[in-house]
Amino acid sequence: MRWAVHASALFPLLHFFRPAGSAAIPRDDRCRETKVAILGAGVAGITAAQALSNASVTDFLIVERNDYIGGRVRHTQFGVNPKTKAPYTVEMGANWVQGLGSKGGPENPIWTLAKRYGLNNTFSNESSILTYDQNGYEDYTDVLGAYEKAYGVVEQDAGYILMGNLQDTSMRAGLSTAGWKPKKDMRMQAAEWWAWDLETAQTPEESGFLYGITGYNLTFYQFSEENNYVWDQRGYNAFVIGESQTFLSANDKRLLLNTTVKSLAYSDQGVTVKTQAGCIKADYAIATFSVGVLQNDAVTFDPPLPRWKREAIDQFQMGTYTKIFYQFNETFWDPNTQYFLYADPKVRGYYPVWQSLTGPGFLEGSNIIFVTLVGNEAYRVEQQPDEKTKDEGLAVLRSMFPDKRVPEPVTFYYPRWSFEE
């Protein structure tokens, strides 16, 4: 859920290749020519193209590996609406508008766009949560409160580091100093996972203290602390497509879908982009690839990126965040509660946060619930067969609801982002 601007993979690292003087560019006539090659048609690529259009630069090409606009804002069809028999749309990637804005303060630009395109969304009520462990329902919401209290100290401590330009540390160290020490207390671990890992897709050990907190502050104190869950049946990317239509016409020749960039050669004379289908010669290129693509050398740069850029890329970690969807033939959980937190006795982050979509304001009556895994657990299940993951999740549900008959799901699905970079 609360996927704040954070020291992980979420800052779009835009790489501008700006040759110094590009007067007489020798052209290879096998290549398509353009002024600006925009690599990627996610939010960053589409926004870059719109900015160029606004500045009357219309000679550009947008090159995208996928066959859709939106990148990590991506949905799929899942299950079936018992009333209409039509499939539901669920989000595989971005799902929340995080931090809306406040009166007189800045508004989150994503919120502005969500409103512009009338995206159906509902306030995610983090107080609407029930807590469980391996023996079923156990009220340990006081532990969530204790984390919040410690966090109040933690964010101030990070503020001292910022203001004093002091040595940074890990979020784990910051939490410990504030007196929050979950150790083997699995309820504390679950509370911490809910408040931290679910947001950042990484553990406190993996998270930088200063920029972990700065990212949170930037999102939730600059805008507001509300997170709204987008359940629009057009898909969350309706806003990205909508914005693209402000400058692209239907079947616009400047949008190249299904086109994978293989390599990028750049010099003072321009940029040559090689794709699986051919090549493009441009005066400039804007690369919007994720940190994962850049770290894994999925695209070759010639010459290699300078050390200062590679160092910046390596400072980030690509989070893995996996939503696992179950549709049942009935709702055996409380339909009026949004979140169900599970503390596994052995493994931290094992099927920890279940979120119901069947309740008021969401996909009402859908009998859909999904569980989110991040980090190592996400990576683990993405590597195993669906059947195994389905059964692991069902076993957890059965220990959470020991007095209910938890049937086999009617439909089951999860994306595997870690295979896509």
Residues that bind ligand NAG (CB under 6 A): 47, 50-51, 54, 67, 120, 125, 127-128, 155-156, 158-159, 162, 210, 213-214, 217, 221, 232-234, 257-258, 329-330, 407-408
Among 95, 214, 338, 389, binds ligand FAD (CB under 6 A): 95
What whole-number distance in Å separates Cα of residue 220 and Cα of residue 214?
10
Torsion of CA 344, 350, 353, 356, to 10 degrees: -100
Shortest Cβ distance from residue 421 to ligand FAD (Å)? Answer: 7
Q: Of these partners, ligand NAG, ligand FAD, none, which one is at the site of residue 299 (CB under 5 to 8 Å by kind)? A: ligand FAD
**Helices 386-400 and 375-382 sit at what angle, rounded to 10 degrees?**
130
279 sits in which H/E element: strand 279-287
Burial of 87 (C-beta count, 10 Å sphere; 0-12/13-18/19+) = middle
Residues in the chain: 421
378 φ/ψ angles, rounded to the nearest 5 degrees? -65, -45
* Residue 63 touches ligand FAD, criterion: CB under 6 A: yes
Strands 32-39 and 279-287: parallel
Residue type, 68: Y
Position of minimal CB gap to ligand NAG: 159
Which residue from 44, 101, 91, 36 is spatially nearest to 69, judged by alpha carbons? 44
Shortest Cβ distance from residue 326 to ligand NAG (Å)? Answer: 13
* Residue 293 touches ligand FAD, criterion: CB under 6 A: yes
* Residue 264 touches ligand FAD, criterion: CB under 6 A: no
Of 76-84, 166-174, 284-292, 346-354, the window that binds ligand FAD (rule: CB under 6 A) is 284-292
Q: Supply the DSSP symbol for 418.
A: G
CA distance to 127, 315, 334, 340, per residue, from 132 (Å):
15, 36, 13, 7
Number of residues that bind ligand FAD (CB under 6 A): 32
Shortest Cβ distance from residue 379 to ligand FAD (Å)? Answer: 13
* Residue 10 touches ligand FAD, criterion: CB under 6 A: yes
Q: Of these partners, ligand NAG, ligand FAD, none, which one is at the site of residue 66 (CB under 5 to 8 Å by kind)? A: ligand FAD
In degrees, rounded to 5, the angle at the alpha carbon of residue 143 between the alpha carbons of residues 138 and 144 is 105
| C-alpha gyration radius of the chain | 23
What whole-number distance in Å separates Cα of residue 132 and Cα of residue 391?
19
Q: Of these partners, ligand NAG, ligand FAD, none, which one is at the site of residue 82 (CB under 5 to 8 Å by kind)? A: none
Residue among 263 and 329 whose Cβ is closer to ligand NAG: 329
* Residue 41 touches ligand FAD, criterion: CB under 6 A: yes
Q: Of these partners, ligand FAD, ligand NAG, none, which one is at the site of residue 190 (CB under 5 to 8 Å by kind)? A: none
Shortest Cβ distance from residue 248 to ligand NAG (Å)? Answer: 13
Residues lying near ligand FAD in the complex (CB under 6 A): 3, 10, 12, 39-45, 63-66, 71-73, 93-96, 98, 260-261, 288-290, 293, 298-299, 321, 417
